[in-house]
Structure 1
Amino acid sequence: MVDITINGEKRSAEVDGDTPLLWVLRDKLGMTGTKFGCGIAQCGACTVHVDGVAVRSCRLPVSAVGDRAITTIEGVGATAAGARVQKAWLDLDVIQCGYCQSGQIMAAAALLAANPDPDDGAIDAAMSGNICRCGTYVRIREGIKQAAQRG
């Protein structure tokens, strides 16, 4: 049995400690907003926050989480940066197919929480590795800039 804190709530799951956090979230806890993309931590679709830092949940064993707080796409809107990013995404119609967007939003929210006024270089660095097959990168960047202006 593993006990973890997700979006401010203590949760338990009966899994092996080496089970990736992604599968605990999706398969054991029914939190399907975090997506499976590549399984090798390269695409960013599975991005969640662990103590506010964007991490790839597909390669993070649940036993490595410990007492640290996990925030998923289902809970990021309760944070100031997350709420601003979600609003900007809607205002600018950032989403096309949407599959990667939970990971994109999580990466952007972590960036703005750490750096409220990022320049293009900081945005590029924070968002690198978050792949969007639809190519909405220009709208993603504009969404981050708009969310930063609202902060």
Structure 2
Amino acid sequence: MKKINQLKQFLLERNLLNNSTTGTHQFTIKDGFIEPFSVDNSGFQYHFTLTISLSAYCYPFNELIASIVSWMQSNQPEALINTQSRQQAIKFNLDNITDNQCDLTIELKLSERIKATKKQDKLEFDSLSDRLILQEPLEKYGHK
């Protein structure tokens, strides 16, 4: 899934996954489901919760959270449109809290739209931009 790798790269470029010499990070998916969305059944959407587990993450982690919020605004804007979805879009838990580090778990509600197109007798799958989707009428993708 393209968004997971984009988020990892985004956080790595900002050195937010490497701030602890003993810490590790893990990305997992749970609660996933698939929703067809196009009239010709060639498009579908993944819906899932991405769990980012960071063990022995050093304080403070405000920059990490601010970066994730910024990434969500650019890459998952529909999750932040209204109050109810915003309250579910980004969650966190802390364990093993010490003077300067903790085990931090962040859960993100994500979705990714995939459209299949036939090219040279084979199917290719392209991830559709959320910005593109939000700017175009949903009827184009089979929604009424």
- Relative to total residues, which structure has the larger helix share, 1 or 2? 1
Q: Which protein is bigger by CA-based radius of gyration?
A: 2
Scaled by the length of structure 2, the TM-score of the pair is 0.29
